[in-house]
Amino acid sequence: MDAGKFDELMRHWARTKPNEIAFADEEYEITFAQLDSLSHRMAKVLQEEGITRGHLVNTTLPSYLGIITTFALHFLGTVSFASGKLIRSNPPLNIDWNISLLPNELVALNRTIIIDEPFLERVKSTPELESIPGYAKLSDPARLFATSGTTGTLKYTMATAGQLESIAAEVGAFDCAGEPEVMGLFPLSARTTYRHAINSLVSGRSFFSSGFVDYRLPKVLSKYPIRTLMGSPAQIATFLQLLTNTGTNLPFLKTIILAGSHPSQVLIERIHSHLDCTVIDIYGSTEAGLITSREINRDKISEFKMDSLVTLQIVDEKNEVVGPKVIGEVRYRKLGMADSYYANPGATTQFFREGFFYPGDYGYLNSAGALVLEGRLDEVFNLGGVKIGAEAVEEIAQAQLGVIDCAAFAMLDPSGIEILGLALVTDDDFDLERFGKVLGKKVPVVPQALFKISSIPRNENGKVLRQALKEGVKVPLKSPLPGLLLRGNCA
């Protein structure tokens, strides 16, 4: 999609439905007329600052500023990407500009544009950009999408100007619901949110987004007739607690889409106890988009349905395809998916092979050909010869009274032996002694160290950053069980 197409769409909707909502979040509404005007004015100001075609530009902005700035950067023909917090990648990106609310040490001050009140007043008073530079050709890089799996190591896929239109047109997570008024909890840096944004522009629909999962979320869901909500299992669990705390009733909400990690049965039951909703569990990746999905109703869980454009296989340690019901590594290919990482040949060689993407998951195909996931290869811990998946521990821990969120991870004890750790986010109902006794009876391998922390570190797609947990835990506390070390205060 050339920048001229963005310009054409904005002008069209600004003329035909100027006062209808183009974007709304927990604090701001932007009409189609305002989106058109502000995006063109922002582009003019950024051009005056020195941003030009081909520059690599990071944005670290709240939703309403992020959407305006992203379209402005497309007008200028830049390579843009968004981040919740700009951090160092390996190999590092050669960033030309950073646009944010605060400076960042990774980008020089003379290459940083701070969006504050004076800057916004300047945007409002600046004439609109009349001549759209855009991209020189459709093969020019246009947008980067960050992905880090569970390791926290940043990698980026890249979409060209010509691929933006196909991203908008592809079947994505939100399309699984069949409900047009949708809101996502993932940031604009996520490929699924960006796709939703440009798809909304193409179709002339309102783009609803929320950058916060706190008291503001029930308010915005009550204000607008949103019928579908998408988030990670951790985000949806917090959302359900907010409904209880605020006593909010959401009669319009009919579908919950879960993405980013596997939901527990406890979470599914909580959703159905709070809401008259269909639950859709999706499996996909930044690299390829939606791969498969399943519907979870109160009385029935359907099998995963594969996207028609996907070829998915299970392979063994020799990279040979195995038959049904044999557990192995998942690999897939999809028409239009990424085939490399941006400026990262090492990661490209590791994860893209023989025309397939290897996401790092393991599972099997059942007799009907449906995917059954067993976990992630980097989340299977080998503890003294005993292999244990993180989800096997987390699902049991998450089901206990007072546990809001949790994550298992491998760590070294003082003697250098690898042991299983478990980080917990709890509320006032949590009883440590009771929890320890239940855990000792039910989990296949008992964690030898517990950590009470304020929040589980996750990437922008909701996946647990286990290395961050491993590096951050400290300060031992008294243990409720023999042989179980309890710790607190995760840095």
Question: Which CATH number is 36's domain given?
Answer: 3.40.50.12780
| Confidence at 474, pLDDT banded by 50, 70, 90 | low
| 264 pLDDT more than 90 | no
| Confidence at 352, pLDDT banded by 50, 70, 90 | very high
Q: Of the candidates 227, 246, 265, which is a domain's last residue?
A: 246
Residue 14 domain-assigned (yes or no)? yes
Spatial separation of the C-alpha atoms in residues 491 and 489, rounded to whole Å: 6
CATH number at residue 372: 2.30.38.10
**Rounded mean pLDDT, 90-100:** 89
In a 13 Å sphere around the CA of 262, the CA atoms on its Cβ side amount to 20
Residue 46 domain-assigned (yes or no)? yes
Give residue 103's pLDDT.
Answer: 92
Does residue 155 sit in the same domain as residue 86? yes
Check: CB of residue 307 under 8 Å from CB of residue 290: yes
**Rounded mean pLDDT, 195-217:** 90
Q: Which helix (H) or strand (E) holds 486?
A: strand 485-488
Phi first, then psi, for residue 2 (nearest 5°) are -70, 155
- Compute how many other C-beta atoms are within 10 angstroms of the C-beta atom of residue 166: 13
Q: Cβ neighbours of residue 36 under 8 Å, at least 6 residues apart?
A: 10, 11, 13, 14
Q: Is 415 exposed, middle or buried (0-12, 13-18, 19+ CB in 10 A)?
A: exposed
| Confidence at 97, pLDDT banded by 50, 70, 90 | very high
Spatial separation of the C-alpha atoms in residues 178 and 255, rounded to whole Å: 9
- Compute how many other C-beta atoms are within 10 angstroms of the C-beta atom of residue 411: 20
**Rounded mean pLDDT, 110-116:** 96
Residue 170 domain-assigned (yes or no)? yes
Give residue 487's pLDDT.
Answer: 43
Range in 133-147, 272-286, 432-446 with the lowest mean pLDDT: 432-446
Give residue 387's pLDDT.
Answer: 67
Q: Give the pair of three-digit tokens for residue 200.
A: 């909304």
Spatial separation of the C-alpha atoms in residues 451 and 465, rounded to whole Å: 15
Does residue 95 sit in the same domain as residue 21? yes
**Rounded mean pLDDT, 33-44:** 98
| 153 pLDDT more than 80 | no
Check: CB of residue 41 under 8 Å from CB of residue 123: yes
Does residue 460 sit in the same domain as residue 328? no
| 49 pLDDT more than 80 | yes
Distances (CA, A) of 327 to 331, 361, 379: 12, 11, 15
Give residue 415's pLDDT.
Answer: 64
Give residue 490's pLDDT.
Answer: 39
Q: What is the length of the chain? A: 491
Determine the residue type at 227. R
| Confidence at 473, pLDDT banded by 50, 70, 90 | low
The residue that leads in pLDDT, 477 or 1, is: 1
Q: Of the candidates 377, 409, 425, which is a domain's last residue?
A: 377
The residue that leads in pLDDT, 460 or 225, is: 225
**Rounded mean pLDDT, 354-368:** 92
DSSP string, 222-274: HHS---EEEE-HHHHHHHHHHHHHHT---TT--EEEE-SSPPPHHHHHHHHHH
Residue 253 domain-assigned (yes or no)? no
Give residue 312's pLDDT.
Answer: 96
Residue 284 domain-assigned (yes or no)? no
Does residue 360 sit in the same domain as residue 417? no
Q: Give the pair of three-digit tokens for residue 346.
A: 């090492």
Residue 366 domain-assigned (yes or no)? yes
Give residue 14's pLDDT.
Answer: 97
**How many structural domains comprise the chain?**
3
Does residue 435 sit in the same domain as residue 460? yes
In a 13 Å sphere around the CA of 134, the CA atoms on its Cβ side amount to 17
Distances (CA, A) of 432 to 266, 364, 402, 426, 435: 20, 37, 9, 10, 5
Does residue 373 sit in the same domain as residue 406? no
| 471 pLDDT more than 90 | no
| 322 pLDDT more than 70 | yes
The percent of residues above 90 in pLDDT, for the chain, comes to 48
Does residue 402 sit in the same domain as residue 420? yes
Spatial separation of the C-alpha atoms in residues 179 and 189, rounded to whole Å: 23
The percent of residues above 70 in pLDDT, for the chain, comes to 92
Which range marks the domain in which residue 351 is found? 310-377
Q: What angle do CA 246, 452, 264 make, to 5 degrees?
A: 60
| 475 pLDDT more than 50 | no
Does residue 426 sit in the same domain as residue 460? yes
- The residues with which 474 forms a beta bridge, in sequence order, are 488
Distances (CA, A) of 288 to 92, 216, 303, 353: 23, 32, 21, 14
Highest-pLDDT range among 47-51, 177-181, 183-187:
47-51
Give residue 409's pLDDT.
Answer: 87
Residue 241 domain-assigned (yes or no)? yes
| 114 pLDDT more than 70 | yes
Range in 141-150, 197-206, 267-276 with the lowest mean pLDDT: 141-150
CATH number at residue 419: 3.30.300.30
**Rounded mean pLDDT, 68-91:** 89
Give residue 489's pLDDT.
Answer: 39
Does residue 71 sit in the same domain as residue 152? yes
Does residue 75 sit in the same domain as residue 221? yes
Global confidence as pTM: 0.83
Range in 72-81, 149-158, 393-402 with the lowest mean pLDDT: 149-158
Range in 84-88, 354-358, 468-472 with the lowest mean pLDDT: 84-88
Check: CB of residue 362 under 8 Å from CB of residue 330: yes
**Rounded mean pLDDT, 281-301:** 87
Does residue 399 sit in the same domain as residue 366? no
Residue 291 domain-assigned (yes or no)? no
| Of residues 252, 280, 286, the one with CA closest to residue 268 | 280
**Rounded mean pLDDT, 264-289:** 89
| Confidence at 480, pLDDT banded by 50, 70, 90 | very low
| 122 pLDDT more than 50 | yes
Does residue 412 sit in the same domain as residue 362? no
The single-letter DSSP state of residue 369 is: S
Q: Of the candidates 359, 377, 395, which is a domain's last residue?
A: 377
| 481 pLDDT more than 50 | no
The residue behind tokens 């290869």 is 377
| Confidence at 338, pLDDT banded by 50, 70, 90 | very high
